[in-house]
Amino acid sequence: MDTLSAATGARTHTHPPLRQRARRATREELDAIPWLQVLDAPQRQRAIDELQLADAEVGERLCRIGKPASFWFGVVDGLLKMSNDDASGQAITFTGVPPGGWFGEGTLLKREVYRYNIQALRKSVVAGLPLDTFHELLEHSIGFNRFVLNQLNERLGQFIAARETDRISDPDLKVARNLAALFHPQLYPGVGSLLRITQQELGYLVGLSRQRVNQALHRLQEQRLIAIEYGGLRVLDLQGLRRFPALG
């Protein structure tokens, strides 16, 4: 069990399962779901009718290794962690999933079981589109096909970069690369220029202590790449963050 699970596991069993707490989306929440905009009116209404939203508690899991995939999930608000922390061997955090991020399309396309866990790092509003509705939209919407294809292409690049980041020993560079990934405009359009994340949460994603993350963030701020704000981080130079430390 990782540090987050150990710290929050006792609280994840005090609520009914997410599916039992499902509700309909509000208009504001629907506006935060990017792929709804590419559907025609009947398809959009069908998707809205089928969408289920729920409020995930800290430490609660949406997906678990070995469980069949039955929903396409997205983050309306909050922050999730994708990892393999139940697998044998070294535990790896693959990525964080901030607002606007949708994930699991590859697993749904192949109708496989999950090969990773998804866990809430903070209280989060999550959305789920049922498997059958996901495939129906793929079959009948060119716009939805293009959206999913772009997701798969961008995520492939993200995971290649994440694999390279895992081999980095420099903590400042590791923090910079992970932050740049969280500000990905195509995968996470809901983030914008301000990511609401604590240093402790970033530490869970990067695998560093809060104190070491704090040092790295201040170095990035000195380079005018980010601004540390109350409750979050603002990116000032995304390309510079991606190139760090080769700024010259």
Whether residue 9 is predicted with pLDDT greater than 80 in this model: the reply is no
Q: What is the C-alpha to C-alpha distance for residues 47 and 147, in angstroms, rounded to an integer?
A: 15
Question: Is 122 in the same domain as 18?
Answer: yes
- Output the DSSP codes for 160-178: HHHHHHHT---HHHHHHHH
Q: Hey, what amino acid is at 106?
A: G
Averaged pLDDT, 42-54: 97
Closest CA to 5 of 118, 163, 90: 118
pLDDT score of 218: 97
Question: Is 106 in the same domain as 227?
Answer: no
Whether residue 168 is predicted with pLDDT greater than 90 in this model: the reply is no
Q: And the tokens for 183?
A: 């500000």
Question: Is 26 in the same domain as 110?
Answer: yes
Question: Is 82 in the same domain as 152?
Answer: yes
| % of the chain with per-residue pLDDT over 90 | 69
Q: Provide the pLDDT confidence category of residue 86 given band limits of 50, 70 and 90.
A: low
User: Is 248 within the bounds of a domain?
Assistant: no
99-121 tens-digit pLDDT: 999 999 999 999 999 999 999 99
Helix (H) or strand (E) holding 213: helix 210-222
Q: Provide the pLDDT confidence category of residue 248 given band limits of 50, 70 and 90.
A: very low
With contact defined as beta carbons under 8 Å apart, do 195 and 233 qualify?
yes
The pair phi, psi for residue 98, each rounded to 5°, is -90, -175
How many domains is the chain partitioned into structurally? 2
Instruction: Collapse the DSSP code of 208 into the 3-class scheme (helix H, G, I; strand E, B; otherwise coil) and give the result.
Output: coil
Helix (H) or strand (E) holding 72: strand 71-77
Whether residue 52 is predicted with pLDDT greater than 90 in this model: the reply is yes
The one-character DSSP state at 34 is G
Mark which of 111, 145, 162 sits at the end of a domain: 162
Instruction: Kindly report the pTM of this predicted structure.
Output: 0.84
Q: And the tokens for 199?
A: 């240093």
With contact defined as beta carbons under 8 Å apart, do 229 and 194 qualify?
yes
> Who wins on pLDDT, 115 or 246?
115
Question: Is 97 in the same domain as 152?
Answer: yes
> Who wins on pLDDT, 161 or 102?
102
189-220 tens-digit pLDDT: 989 889 999 999 999 998 899 999 999 999 99
DSSP-H helix ranges across 12-141:
27-31, 41-50, 105-110, 131-140
Lowest mean pLDDT among 44-53, 84-93, 164-173, 215-224: 84-93
Residue with tokens 């997701």: 151
Range of the domain at 95: 3-162
Question: Is 139 in the same domain as 228?
Answer: no
Lowest mean pLDDT among 11-20, 133-142, 200-209: 11-20
**Mean pLDDT, the chain, whole residue set:** 88
Whether residue 32 is predicted with pLDDT greater than 80 in this model: the reply is yes
Instruction: Collapse the DSSP code of 96 into the 3-class scheme (helix H, G, I; strand E, B; otherwise coil) and give the result.
Output: strand
Question: Is 80 in the same domain as 115?
Answer: yes
| % of the chain with per-residue pLDDT over 70 | 90
